[in-house]
Structure 1
Amino acid sequence: MEFIRNSLGVLSVLPVLPFVLVYGIGRFMKLEKRRCLFLAMDVTTVFLLLSVSALFNNIFDSRFGFFLILLIVLIGAGLIGGAQNRLKGQIDGKRLFRAVWRLSFMLMGAGYVLFMVVGMIKYISQTM
């Protein structure tokens, strides 16, 4: 149990690792590149969610990071679902979930880089 907890901790701190691992395993299994990329994005989104919320909480000394990200994702789902409903007259739940999940990957990837830089600057300024 300790090994699983430590592994999840490392993968959450460095969300690039699960991306590289899943993509590498997929390519090793001879899956097409596009499918490997999307699978790696889907798996990494979970670790980015944990990591970005922890970085947010650390930088802003709060406990609201996870809920803020969840709120943004739900608002995005509502906007995309509304657009789907206007354009096609119905909502395709599978496509909606996939679109929101992959957009979350993109936004949280950018948030991870931003919060990592801000966190390092904050840490360095506190130690000086």
Structure 2
Amino acid sequence: MIVEILLNLYSWLAALPFVTFIVIWFGVYLFLKNKKLTTRLSMDITMLFLIGSVSVIWNQLFQAKFGFWLIILVLLISFGLIGGYQNQAKGKTDLLKVFRVVWRLGFLTLSVLYIVLLLANILKNMIIPT
């Protein structure tokens, strides 16, 4: 019962991640009153919903089943590359800082991918109706 409620809530929030971002931003801003921190926290939370929505759109567009795992793989490879660069440049790796960089770059990348893939999916369905 609780799992079904959480899955339904996640699917509603992941359906429109930009609306979710705005709702989360205003909700967090009411408590924190700090725009910079609110924006960062909203980006971090919305990233969870972007992963789900982009992977579903990817799977629908390309008739695949690995969209989620592809996103996770790219995030892990990015984590390794940025962590390796930081280790080479500074002699040590701050894992929390690397995670933040990868997570926020992922937010920007998945936001663009969401728009591009959504438009491509709409065009595909207009040209080849299912």
Contact 2:25/2:38 (CA < 8 Å) preserved in 1?
yes
Could you state the TM-score of these two structures normalised by the residue count of structure 1? 0.93
1:83 aligns with 2:89: no
Gaps of 5+ in 2: none
1:114 to 116, 121, 124: 116
Could you state the TM-score of these two structures normalised by the residue count of structure 2? 0.92
1:86-127 residue CA offsets vs partner (Å, 9 max, x unmatched): 111000011011111111101100110010000100111123
1:74 to 69, 73, 76: 76
1:63 aligns with 2:65: yes
Q: Who is 2:53 aligned against?
A: 51
Cα RMSD for the two superposed structures: 1.4
Q: Displacement of 1:31 after TM fit? A: 2.3
Identity %: 35
How many residues of Structure 1 are paired with residues of Structure 2 in the alignment?
Answer: 128
1:43-96 residue CA offsets vs partner (Å, 9 max, x unmatched): 000000000011100000000111111111111111100110011100001101
Tell me which moved more, 74-83 or 26-35: 26-35
Contact 2:59/2:65 (CA < 8 Å) preserved in 1?
yes
